[in-house]
Structure 1
Amino acid sequence: MATQKLYAGVKLREIRGRLALTQKSFADKLGVSLPYLNQMENNHRPVSAAVVLALAQEFGLDVTELTVGESERLVSDMREALADPVFTAATPPLADLRLAASNAPALARAFLDLHRAYRQNHERLASLDEALGREDAGLKPSPWEEVRDFFHYCDNYIDAVDRAAEHFATSAGPKRDVIRLAEDLLHRQGVALHYDDTPAIRRYDPAARRLVISARAQDATRRFQLLYQLALLTQNDLLEATLDFARFSTPEARDIAKIGLANYFAGAALLPYRAFLEAARETRHDLERLADLFGASIEQVAHRLSTLQRPGAKGIPFFFVRVDQAGTITKRHSATRLQFARFGGACPLWNVHQAFETPGKFLRQFVETPDGVRYLCLAREVSKPGGAFLAPVRRYAIGLGCEVRHASEMVYADGLDPRGRFEPIGISCRICERATCHQRSVPPLERRLKVNPDSRDLLPYEIAE
């Protein structure tokens, strides 16, 4: 099988800019001519093995940075957007989309922003009972989606915040008693901490300097909420500097992002990077053992595994997703080539939907996506009780997975036959190319249909080749 050539011009230019080097200086350090570097930076020539080696030796670069998943995510997002019926012309070839994602990522994101704006406007027009007669019914970007995309395209890894949280956790000593340290720091800041029987999970009164955390909440939740509040009170300058760098378009998006960054600090302090990565490898990524070791929940551990993307010290690339009982994706992140639908739910053949039928148990599944990549998928139902008989219980299912080439590093692969059946799944029905899926809900928008009134199979139509 021929080795795939590596075209990474945008990444080379980004690395050179980060190092503040001219093209000539960069070429000299890499041991190549200036014209050769220029051709590589413009994707006219692939990055050679000698250049990859020089990047690692000269700059200590984690060479996996050259193949990070941003281009694949952009291609996936563009394919989904172009499947919209508004695009009546033929869909651009996949090769063209990959060229756009590699050579002009800013243009690709601008296209996605434009399509998202169109969808938002279309949805508002469809809700005339809300839109008619309102002064604020004009087109506005969704703050929630803007923040989601910020984390999505950062690989859900924020280096400065992650390292600050790890430094905090390290200062707690060898026993990693981050909660006692957090309580001490809050006390020094004049904050009174109380655990009360209150329905609110967390409530902070800045005037009275009083923090109340619900005694009803599970222990992992209480720990997380304490660290979240600590982040807001002691890491404000860092959070604000990160927000300034992100340049969100609305105050609402900035506010939502600040909550996300404080949550990130809390998770990274509870599960500090190097200690957690080492424990993950030692336990072969056993979620229950990791949760017990760090005093965290199964969901917190699964989410943290998907963020271990620090340059030079990366963990297994995982995807993580959380869905509600209606199948709606409420959290999503992927450090793998598998990307989730930006609108709607996940593929119904995926085991994450079956997890609600077996509460408290892990489901394992081998799957294959239309691009031929195979994954080991793990799914489990998680419940969040309200702490009282009449309090509502929130139920979700979480999914975690990696490519099968990493399966041997997962305890959940034990006893499974990698030569067995791989369930064929897709991203969403409207862009899935599979012609014979018995669970298809809508036809693929990129393919022609054959309708025969005299014949009926699983579907009332055939998908033309």
Structure 2
Amino acid sequence: MTPESPVQPAPSGDAATDRLLLGKRIRHFRGRAGLTLDALGERVGVGGSQLSLIENGRREPRLTLLQAIARELGVDPAELLSPEPPDRRSAFEIELERAQSSLLYQQLNLPRVRTPRTLSDEALESLVGLHRELSRRSRAAAATPEEARRANTEIRLWMRERDNHLPDIEKVAEELMARIGHTTGAVTHREVAVLAELLGFTLIFVDDLPSNTRSITDLENGRIYLPPASIPGGHGLRSLALQAMAHRVLGHDRPASYAEFLQQRLQINYFASACLLPETPAAAFLQQAKQDRNLAIEDLRDAFGVTHEAAAHRFTNLATRHLDLRVHFYRTEAAGALLRGYENDGMPYPVDGTGSVEGQVICRKWAGRTAFDRTNRTSEFYQYTDTPAGTYWASVQTGETEQGAFSLTCGVRFDDAKWFRGRDTQTRTVSTCPDPACCRTPDGELLDRWDGRAWASARMHAHVLSPLPTGTFPGVDDTEMYEFLSKHAV
């Protein structure tokens, strides 16, 4: 086979594939020992035909038989159970078997191709390559904007069912932070570097990361490449490094679909947040603030040295579990389009036909939009909003990026406002959305004056008609990434 063709690691977790892998390893060591099937069978007390079934992955040997085979072949039983294919051809044979067992291939209603020794290496490699391309094209076809929105919606609803709290990741993060001696307060850059060393990584800051990557991990050499600077204060660098480590900590494999990519993205973001604001001290801080009736996102932000958005997200992770509060959070641009949102308090977000909130325009009366009407936007803004689903109180922080102004809103139902700073605000609005008369239909005077007398050239976002990127990691150019790694691995 040509050395340029990469060999994929043997898949795990499939019983049939695991049996085949075991059989391949037994055959490999039997050949190395110079024994025929009948000769080995005579030594371990079974027929050669039975061993053939085992070597072809059609039967799983008992533990006692496996130990006897290992003894006669002069290897440790653990060698036979290794997850690594014994040679290059075996790796391709196993990958082909796995591909032909997939639902995608079965739907084609084509015959199964066997892999006898008479099948040349080149033919086997070609078959595997075709299956890889078939799988890639299937993923690419599924990764339409609509499918991505559906997947994102499913994840949002899945998190809402869990009150935005993932206890398994919380436990892992807290145990790791305890191992490096962090107990409370802001996590330092040095502590993040120590954690990386604990996990077998070195953090390296470079100024030539590919433009479509936030970080790149060299698994072979244990290096995590990061940009030399991030947002003021470097908060983003700590989070980026923790997110990169999270893939190893959480045992991620390469994403097989865009939905899996989004799920992994959620998990690494959660892990980073749980490291920067560990559950035990962060929950204790919030519980004391609630007892004092002085809950404030800005205080959580300052106590743990993170961004306002990170603090707001983390508040949603802990509020229901530790404070018995149901909450909502959303980020919106100045024009009112939702960039992301979470709620388990019934906040009536607008949704599209897929159930997605991203890109939907919120009511002009909501706090996340009225906050932009202030002359002074440097302080927290508080507001009560009457909606068809009830009255909500919210705290808003506004900011600016290169892409424009944005707001971060975190709030609760009216009855829970008593626990928060800013509950005494006199600002109150009434929203009747989705009723078009609320804020989407011009009043009669404006209609009479301009209806049919105006024309606008709409600004279209570039992503509207663009297909989702389909590299190994969505949005990342594989060639550019591999060239970067080769350059820095020297």
Structure 1 length-normalised TM: 0.54
Q: CA deviation at 1:261?
A: 0.8
Identity over aligned pairs, percent: 18
What is the letter of the counterpart of residue 166 of structure 1? E
**Contact 1:377–1:402 (Cα < 8 Å) also in 2:** yes
For residues 140 and 336 of structure 1, the distance between their equivalents in structure 2, rounded to whole angstroms, comes to: 28
For residues 198 and 317 of structure 2, the distance between their equivalents in structure 1, rounded to whole angstroms, comes to: 31
- In structure 1, the partner of 2:225 is 212
For residues 138 and 206 of structure 1, the distance between their equivalents in structure 2, rounded to whole angstroms, comes to: 27
What is the letter of the counterpart of residue 263 of structure 1? N
Q: Secondary structure at 2:275's aligned position in 1?
A: helix
- In structure 1, the partner of 2:412 is 402
**Are residues 1:252 and 2:269 paired?**
no
Residue of 382, 406, 409 corresponding to 1:364: 382
For residues 142 and 346 of structure 2, the distance between their equivalents in structure 1, rounded to whole angstroms, comes to: 37
Q: CA deviation at 1:315?
A: 4.3
What is the letter of the counterpart of residue 377 of structure 1? A
Q: CA deviation at 1:202?
A: 3.0
**Contact 2:380–2:396 (Cα < 8 Å) also in 1:** yes
When residues 138 and 209 of structure 1 are mapped into structure 2, their CA distance, relative to the original with a 3 A threshold, is closer
For residues 206 and 144 of structure 2, the distance between their equivalents in structure 1, rounded to whole angstroms, comes to: 43
Q: CA deviation at 1:254?
A: 0.4
**Contact 1:192–1:209 (Cα < 8 Å) also in 2:** yes
What is the letter of the counterpart of residue 406 of structure 1? D
When residues 296 and 141 of structure 1 are mapped into structure 2, their CA distance, relative to the original with a 3 A threshold, is same
For residues 273 and 138 of structure 1, the distance between their equivalents in structure 2, rounded to whole angstroms, comes to: 35
Residue of 332, 337, 349 corresponding to 2:341: 332
For residues 287 and 399 of structure 2, the distance between their equivalents in structure 1, rounded to whole angstroms, comes to: 24
**Contact 2:203–2:241 (Cα < 8 Å) also in 1:** no
User: Which residues of structure 1 form unaligned runs of 5+?
Assistant: 1-134, 385-391, 443-454, 461-465
Map 1:15-34; keep pairs closer than 5 Å. Answer: none
Q: CA deviation at 1:264?
A: 0.9
When residues 270 and 256 of structure 1 are mapped into structure 2, their CA distance, relative to the original with a 3 A threshold, is same
For residues 304 and 144 of structure 2, the distance between their equivalents in structure 1, rounded to whole angstroms, comes to: 45
What is the letter of the counterpart of residue 440 of structure 2? R
**Contact 2:176–2:195 (Cα < 8 Å) also in 1:** no
Q: CA deviation at 1:161?
A: 1.7
**Contact 2:143–2:258 (Cα < 8 Å) also in 1:** no
What is the letter of the counterpart of residue 440 of structure 1? R
Over residues 44-89 of structure 1, what are the superposed CA-to-partner deviations in whole Å (9 max), with x where a residue is unaligned? Answer: xxxxxxxxxxxxxxxxxxxxxxxxxxxxxxxxxxxxxxxxxxxxxx
Q: CA deviation at 1:231?
A: 1.0
When residues 163 and 406 of structure 1 are mapped into structure 2, their CA distance, relative to the original with a 3 A threshold, is same
Q: Secondary structure at 1:365's aligned position in 2?
A: strand
**Contact 1:144–1:253 (Cα < 8 Å) also in 2:** no
**Are residues 1:378 and 2:395 paired?**
yes
Q: CA deviation at 1:350?
A: 1.3
**Are residues 1:341 and 2:341 paired?**
no
Q: CA deviation at 1:458?
A: 7.2
Over residues 85-121 of structure 1, what are the superposed CA-to-partner deviations in whole Å (9 max), with x where a residue is unaligned? Answer: xxxxxxxxxxxxxxxxxxxxxxxxxxxxxxxxxxxxx
For residues 255 and 234 of structure 1, the distance between their equivalents in structure 2, rounded to whole angstroms, comes to: 16
- In structure 1, the partner of 2:147 is 142
What is the letter of the counterpart of residue 206 of structure 1? L
Q: CA deviation at 1:262?
A: 0.6
- In structure 1, the partner of 2:481 is none
Map 1:184-263; keep pairs closer than 5 Å. Answer: 184-197=194-207, 201-218=214-231, 219-236=234-251, 251-263=257-269
What is the letter of the counterpart of residue 351 of structure 1? A
Q: Secondary structure at 1:340's aligned position in 2?
A: coil
For residues 417 and 170 of structure 2, the distance between their equivalents in structure 1, rounded to whole angstroms, comes to: 27
Residue of 296, 308, 312 corresponding to 1:298: 308
Q: Secondary structure at 2:246's aligned position in 1?
A: helix
Q: Secondary structure at 1:408's aligned position in 2?
A: helix
Q: CA deviation at 1:278?
A: 2.1
- In structure 2, the partner of 1:40 is none
Q: CA deviation at 1:212?
A: 2.5
Over residues 205-249 of structure 1, what are the superposed CA-to-partner deviations in whole Å (9 max), with x where a residue is unaligned? Answer: 33443223223212211111121112112222xx57xx9xxxx9x
For residues 170 and 315 of structure 1, the distance between their equivalents in structure 2, rounded to whole angstroms, comes to: 26
Q: Secondary structure at 2:237's aligned position in 1?
A: helix
Q: Secondary structure at 2:173's aligned position in 1?
A: helix
Q: Secondary structure at 2:362's aligned position in 1?
A: coil
For residues 203 and 167 of structure 1, the distance between their equivalents in structure 2, rounded to whole angstroms, comes to: 25
For residues 345 and 408 of structure 1, the distance between their equivalents in structure 2, rounded to whole angstroms, comes to: 29
- In structure 1, the partner of 2:157 is 152
Q: CA deviation at 1:258?
A: 0.5
Q: Secondary structure at 2:381's aligned position in 1?
A: strand
Q: CA deviation at 1:189?
A: 4.2
What is the letter of the counterpart of residue 170 of structure 2? D
**Contact 2:368–2:407 (Cα < 8 Å) also in 1:** yes
User: RMSD across aligned C-alpha pairs, in angstroms?
Assistant: 3.3
Map 1:88-99; keep pairs closer than 5 Å. Answer: none
Over residues 318-377 of structure 1, what are the superposed CA-to-partner deviations in whole Å (9 max), with x where a residue is unaligned? Answer: 100001233221110002111311232111111212434544332211111113x11111
What is the letter of the counterpart of residue 248 of structure 2? L
Q: Secondary structure at 2:367's aligned position in 1?
A: coil
Number of equivalent positions: 286
Q: Secondary structure at 1:353's aligned position in 2?
A: helix
For residues 371 and 310 of structure 2, the distance between their equivalents in structure 1, rounded to whole angstroms, comes to: 18
Q: CA deviation at 1:163?
A: 2.8
**Are residues 1:412 and 2:426 paired?**
no
What is the letter of the counterpart of residue 363 of structure 2? C
- In structure 2, the partner of 1:267 is 273
Q: CA deviation at 1:137?
A: 9.4
**Contact 1:157–1:309 (Cα < 8 Å) also in 2:** no
What is the letter of the counterpart of residue 209 of structure 1? G
Q: CA deviation at 1:175?
A: 4.3
For residues 324 and 205 of structure 1, the distance between their equivalents in structure 2, rounded to whole angstroms, comes to: 36
What is the letter of the counterpart of residue 165 of structure 2? Y
